[in-house]
Structure 1
Amino acid sequence: MNIPPISLAALTWAGAASGTTAQSWRIGTVLSARPLGVNPQGLLILRIGALTVEADVPNAQLPTQFQVRVLTLGAQPQLEVLSQPADRTFQRVLRERLPQQNGYAPLLATLGALAQRPVLRQLPPELRTALALLEQSLRTPAEITRGEGLREAISRSGMFFESKLLGPQGDTPALTGDDWKGALLRLAGLLDRRSAAPPPPSRSETEPPLLQRGLQAQPRLPVPTMLAEEGAEGGVGLLLDQLHGDVKAALARVEVAQLDASASQLSAWIIEIPLQGDGGRDVLQIQLEYVNDAAEGGHGWTLGFALDLPALGPVQGELQLREPRLSVRLWAEQADTAQRLERQFIPMRQRLAACGVLLDQLSCQVGLPQAPGRHSAVLLQATA
């Protein structure tokens, strides 16, 4: 089995990785690798940088020389096998952004709290305008439940901001107020002028890009402590520091997703869409992948989604479209949510039949699916 152009490897640190050798293993670092042979147990011996490891690669073939990029550190660092030499600028930017990124939920919680508190009136007018533009870039459930509305939400998710700027109709002021990344950049610029960039959120491990993690439903977060406490409205400086960190982390999140999609050899994207939900803000994750099945001579699209709503709990879904055939699989963490979804199956079948779609499968399971390895996973064990 050939290793796909981009694959993940989970590395177990051993004694050989705990000394000076491990200093070269930093987020975003690209290391040279080559196979050395096979040990008596049938494990492939690899040389990665200055470290020798044993790899369990069933029925796989690796080139005589290749490169890997360090995606995460920790007990089991993840490595990305590169199909071609890595661009130095790409390495540097990815290395900077990965530790800075965080999900949208903290920012959305801060925005929701700000909108309901008198402290908003104490902010400078230009900041209030930038916050209003960011709020304006949030989509509504009514918009994303229509085909055209979902298409527009994906287009304005920040993933395609620069490409739209380069287009013939590129209008920077309009895009800044209409695109999620554009609105984040405007607000981040104003906050940068106020103070130096805050340190990235502290975590024990740096999370890999979205494509490597797969879909993950993200719940709402509670109001930040400083905004929930009595009399916190007077701490405008602390509030702006909190907002600054949330905006920078969300902006890094968009840029890591853009970098990951541009470097991927697959026609696949994971896009996050912030939503103005019922009584709060939510995050919809959408995974799009173009599938070309050479064996069967067919092609089509796979659309996955993940969403965590207060009334339903975490829900995930996968739609496989091979025109005119469609397969739909849903998962719900809560049993009552699965029952509510199943009650919608009859009208859903009727609507699909009216559109000329042949439904091969429609199911809903209790419990969330295990996040699939987006790329082949290889367990490497370092030897002394």
Structure 2
Amino acid sequence: MIIQPTSLAALTWAGAASGASADSWRVGAVLAARTLGYSEQAKLVLQIGSLTVEAEPPGTQLPSQFQVRVLSLGAEPKLEILGGPPLDQAVSRALRERLPQQNGYAPLLATLGALAQRPLLRQLPPPLRAALALLEHSIRTPVEIAHAAGLQEAVKRSGLFLESQLAHPQTDLGMLGEDDWKAALLRLAATLDRGSPAHPPGDHTETAPPLAQRGLVAQPRAPMPESAQPGEVDSLLVRLHGEVHAALARLEVAQLETQASGAWMIEIPLQGEGGQDILQLQMTPHEDDPEQPTAWVLGFAIDLPRLGPVQGELQLRGLRLSVRLWAQRTETTARLERLFGELGQQLTANGLLLDQLTCQTGLPQPPGSRSAVLLKATA
């Protein structure tokens, strides 16, 4: 893997070359490097030798400490990362297989909503109707996640942790099968497979895969399929077949990436007004604060019909909390700011020290596509 800085976060290359770091930044030199976290522009901040650079995060997770070799200098020096841990071959192979198959939950939820409105749905075979009802039951409500215990349960039942819970000897398998999102998807997929073994590929244009290095994306509802056509339920079931398998692939991509990134990207379908919404959560430990085990960054993104896209980032260090919110609509920003007083009181009542609470109009820029081979750095 190559790092290609174009400038420094604190110093210019000219200043660095004329200072004490000039000797260390020579071609062939091996320098110590460590990750410092992320900047406000979602850039990866690295300390390399005595200098600090900002870079676009790579396609794989960097260790907290590593070494780089200087390959070239000049306006755009190149640094080779030494000893970076590659993904396990089995994980890499599984990712390559699932990434082309995956798709977001929004098209699946729209098709489920369309099916629920069809009177002919009552004529479907009982096993299929039971599988559809189980999947609908696994969709959480806003009331259920409005408190800590409910949100924790929704995270546990998001499908990301299904296999680990199955391996736990004290797990209630019956309850898990009824509440877990992935378990419900697997049951519906198996039921549909019995009627149509070869599922068509899903539509891969809706949303990016939920990989930690791609950042949070507020996902709007997908439009419901057009209705009032003969044989409509059959066509919806064909569509549903592909979308269920695409959703399973998306969830498995998130599970595989968690092993490599050390962060959790979780998507929770929610039952909203007149449709379903998707709450995306990203939980990352503070890699730059190993002495503080309670240091975490929690990000979230959601697109609600009444509020529009909203994103947030909560940084927790011990009992100190910083909250930053972003809303695409100006009226949503004003609406959230009117709740700041009540929110601050609730946080204080729970023993937290609020260092920052802000809301900005406009969403933060997503990191965008990143290569696992080339890392471009900017100040």
Considering the TM-score relative to the shorter chain, is it more than 0.5?
yes
| C-alpha distance after superposition, 1:119-140 (max 9, x if no partner) | 2112111000000000000000
Segments of 5+ residues of structure 2 without an aligned counterpart are 1-31, 39-58, 61-67
Match of 1:236 in 2: 233
Distance 1:43 1:202, change over 3 A: farther
- Does 2:87 match 1:38? no
Matched position secondary structure for 2:221: coil
Contact persistence 2:216–2:300 (CA under 8 A)? yes
TM-score by length of 2: 0.76
Match of 1:150 in 2: 151
RMSD between superposed Cα atoms in Å: 3.2
Distance 1:206 1:339, change over 3 A: closer
Matched position secondary structure for 1:365: strand
Equivalence map 1:126-141=2 (5 Å) = 126-141=127-142
| C-alpha distance after superposition, 1:53-84 (max 9, x if no partner) | xxxx5xxx522xx6xxxxxxxxxxxxxxxx33
Distance 1:319 1:85, change over 3 A: closer
Segments of 5+ residues of structure 1 without an aligned counterpart are 8-26, 29-33, 45-56, 67-82
Matched position secondary structure for 2:321: strand
Contact persistence 2:98–2:253 (CA under 8 A)? yes
Query: Which of 245, 248, 253 pairs up with 1:251?
Result: 248
Counterpart CA distance in 2 for 1:293 and 1:43 is: 25
Counterpart CA distance in 2 for 1:374 and 1:320 is: 25
Aligned residues: 319
Sequence identity, in percent? 58
Equivalence map 1:251-270=2 (5 Å) = 251-264=248-261, 266=262, 268-270=263-265
Contact persistence 2:220–2:304 (CA under 8 A)? yes
Letter in 2 for 1:156: R
Contact persistence 2:269–2:276 (CA under 8 A)? yes
- Does 2:276 match 1:281? yes
Contact persistence 1:274–1:281 (CA under 8 A)? yes
Contact persistence 1:286–1:303 (CA under 8 A)? yes
- Does 2:174 match 1:179? no
Equivalence map 1:65-76=2 (5 Å) = none
Equivalence map 1:362-373=2 (5 Å) = 362-372=357-367
Distance 1:39 1:288, change over 3 A: closer
| C-alpha distance after superposition, 1:77-129 (max 9, x if no partner) | xxxxxx33443322221111000111000010011111111121121110000
Match of 1:52 in 2: none
Distance 1:87 1:323, change over 3 A: closer
Match of 1:99 in 2: 100
Letter in 2 for 1:62: I
Distance 1:290 1:374, change over 3 A: farther
Counterpart CA distance in 2 for 1:129 and 1:208 is: 29
Matched position secondary structure for 2:184: helix
TM-score by length of 1: 0.75
Match of 2:50 in 1: none
